[in-house]
Amino acid sequence: MQEVIIQGGRPLAGKVSISGAKNAGLPALAASLLTDDFVTIHRMPDLKDIRFMGSLLEDLGCEFSFQDGTACVRALAIGGNPSYERVQQMRASICLLGPLIARLKRVNMPPPGGCVLGQRPIDLHLHGLTALGCEIFIQNGLICASANQLKGATVSMGGVFGSTVTGTINVICAATLANGTTIIENAAREPEVADLCRMLVKMGAKIDGIGESTLTIDGVEQLHGASHELIPDRIEFGTFLLLALAGRGKLELTKMDAALCGAIIDALAESGAEFEEIGNFFIVHGERSNLRPMHLETLPFPGLPTDLQAPLCTLFTQICGESSMLENIYPDRFTHVGELRRMGADIVMDGRRAVIRGATHLSGAPVMIPDLRAGACLYSAALLARGESILRGIHHVDRGYEIFDEKLRKIGAVLQRREIMQKDGCEKI
Ligand code: EPZ
């Protein structure tokens, strides 16, 4: 187990290169099961979750290689079922369900566990696949799914707040090899869904309406191999953008297609953030942005992404006045609030809304990271705080931010990792 020690309060400025999107790479790897040809995926970020998905594919008999940002998969002779122990470790394992049904006609796999974000239902996944003619029942804690021949259908993927991202992905994958035409209504519009569709089209799939909430998919006999480059990671981009504003530094980020960012850029600009685009860089002028309080809420794309909610809370602690953040997607996604308070943040919870008063001088403290995006929030808070912070649970951050420590050092952060000394079988306090 490791911890990271951060000396806060240093000015942060410089260039950050944005990696390929984790949440585009994971479904792309799973979708490689749809063909027995080679699938090559470029700009693949070197993350724990990516390597874990690769190992799940190898468990199923796939060839998997990953080097220098390029992953290569060949699902030639595949079989078996993903195991309970493995699937429980990563929610995104659910992305295997649709491709495996389409390819093997039968799969028994455990539903992925919940996580600190709260319940992670899969009812819409199962609803969509059942509409395509899949027979599904739950037995002995397993999703038992079979379909001799998937058939096209009209499916709605809508949930309470928009649509499920991985649920949409599962139905798209299954529909590409179904007999006939599938119309997916209330499809998730997250850019990672569109990116997957573009890769599937390169593999021979017939998909119309990419990026829209209604997709039309004409099933084909089989798909072939392809080479694809992932979109950049909009959540990593947003995380560094928010850090620049909170730390009042100038950061030059790899240019991002504004259409990938959704509402976050407009909301920040409206509050007084200053941005510039020069050549291949998107420049965040934190040094001259005086932000006004914001009252935001998370929504499905193109609304404010829930994955930036925690990093936004850190920014709100640095804005004079009262800001608020309403979490619509995952009601329990406030595991970072307690730790931020311990660093001095003034946060009052009102149901699913965090009311944050600033500007606060945060102070360094030992904190425990509970999940991936809370980790980004607490890293940022430690970088802003006066004094030293010791962050544990950093394995969560390694799941979703490629060489995070190295990228932070390059812009002036003073941090180091060390092994946690074990004493008498328990962590040394
Ligand atoms: C994707 O998760 C992302 N993960 C998440 O990012 C992201 O937070 C989430 O979408 C929302 O944008 C990947 O793409 C791998 P959902 P996903 O199914 O698809 C409800 C990160 O930090 N729902 O869209 O698993 C559910 O309760 C991760 O990178 C149902 O009701 O999320 C929730 O309110 C965390 N029934 C909402 O939809 C279902 O069958 C979003 O869940 C499925 C979902």
The domain boundary residue, chosen from 214, 229, 244: 229
Residues 257 and 396 in one domain: yes
What is the structure's pLDDT at 163?
Answer: 86
Residues 273 and 187 in one domain: no
Among 413, 398, 280, 407, CA closest to 3: 398
Above 50 in pLDDT, residue 425?
no
The domain boundary residue, chosen from 179, 202, 229: 229
Above 90 in pLDDT, residue 259?
no
Residues 95 and 10 in one domain: no
Alpha-carbon distance of 178 to 423, in angstroms, equals 57
Above 70 in pLDDT, residue 429?
no
| 122 CB near ligand 1 (under 6 Å) | yes
Alpha-carbon distance of 319 to 291, in angstroms, equals 6
Q: What is the CATH number of the domain that holds 348?
A: 3.65.10.10
Rg (CA), the chain: 22
Among 117, 110, 125, 209, CA closest to 159: 125
Residues 194 and 282 in one domain: no
What is the structure's pLDDT at 424?
Answer: 53
The label of the residue with tokens 């006939």 reads 180
C-alpha dihedral over 279, 285, 286, 288, to 10 degrees?
170
Q: Which residues are catalytic?
A: 115
Residues 389 and 266 in one domain: yes
What is the structure's pLDDT at 426?
Answer: 46
Residues 240 and 272 in one domain: yes
Alpha-carbon distance of 319 to 321, in angstroms, equals 6
What is the structure's pLDDT at 422?
Answer: 66
Residues 35 and 159 in one domain: yes
Alpha-carbon distance of 297 to 303, in angstroms, equals 8
Distances in Å between the Cα of 182 and the Cα atoms of 52, 104, 145, 150 are 31, 20, 19, 10
Specify the DSSP element, H or E, that contains 398: helix 395-398
Q: Residue whose CA is closest, atom 10 of ligand 1?
A: 165
Six token digits for residue 398: 């390694």
Q: How would you class 425 by CB atoms within 10 Å of its CB: exposed for 0-12, middle for 13-18, buried for 19 or more?
A: exposed
Query: Which of the two residues, 257 and 173, has the higher pLDDT score?
Result: 173
In this prediction, residues 152-172 reach a mean pLDDT of 91
Write the CB contacts of 383 (distance below 8 Å, at least 6 apart in sequence).
6, 8, 10, 12, 243, 247, 408, 413, 415
Six token digits for residue 121: 């239902």
Atom of ligand 1 nearest to the CA of 94: 25
Mutate to test the pocket of ligand 1, among 155, 164, 309 (most ligand atoms within 8 A of CB): 164
Beta bridge mates, 116:
none
Q: Residue whose CA is closest, atom 44 of ligand 1?
A: 164
Q: Residue whose CA is closest, atom 18 of ligand 1?
A: 164
| 121 CB near ligand 1 (under 6 Å) | yes
Alpha-carbon distance of 30 to 173, in angstroms, equals 9
Domain limits for position 59? 22-229
Residues in the chain: 429
At 216-239, the pLDDT tens digits run 999 999 999 999 999 999 999 999
At 101-154, the pLDDT tens digits run 999 999 999 988 656 666 778 999 999 999 999 999 999 989 999 999 999 999
Work out the mean pLDDT of the chain and round it to a whole number: 94
Number of domains forming the structure of the chain: 2
